[in-house]
Structure 1
Amino acid sequence: MGLLVDDEALERLTDIGERYSLRYAIQLLAPSNEIAKIRNSGKIEVQDVDRAEKLFADVSKSSAYLKEWEEKLLQ
């Protein structure tokens, strides 16, 4: 069974793929779908993608976060 994705949400995922990586954008599909299900929707909308992006960091964001905390904790 495939996923239904709103055009605006697909555009947002495309932007995310261009900014970070295609892998990260694709990985956001699963949590976006779960968030849509919580809203009792069978279609992923831009609000679902935005929420998933806030909850799950890509590799570069994760690395920056770890670097920041490493510096704070080693002081």
Structure 2
Amino acid sequence: MDLDANLPAELSEQHPFRKQAIRDAIAFGILCAITLVLFGVTGLYYGAYSRYRASIGLPTDNTPVITLPVVRRR
């Protein structure tokens, strides 16, 4: 039984679109992996930086170090 008889020509083994689709899928996978690695490195850095700030007594939340002056009304 020939399994390729029901498939379009674009999905055959030797078709250039199939080869290009495989290359595109591999490239997309590599880009996704690089993106996830960068997110991981950023998370590790942020965690270490937060621990460092806590160890020297600085706030670790997202409050700014320099605050705007508060205007008091009498």
- Normalising to structure 1: TM-score of the pair? 0.28
Which one scores higher on RCO, CA 8 angstroms, separation ≥ 6? 1
The structure with the largest helix share of the pair is 1
The structure with the largest strand share of the pair is 1
- Normalising to structure 2: TM-score of the pair? 0.28
Greater Rg over alpha carbons, structure: 2
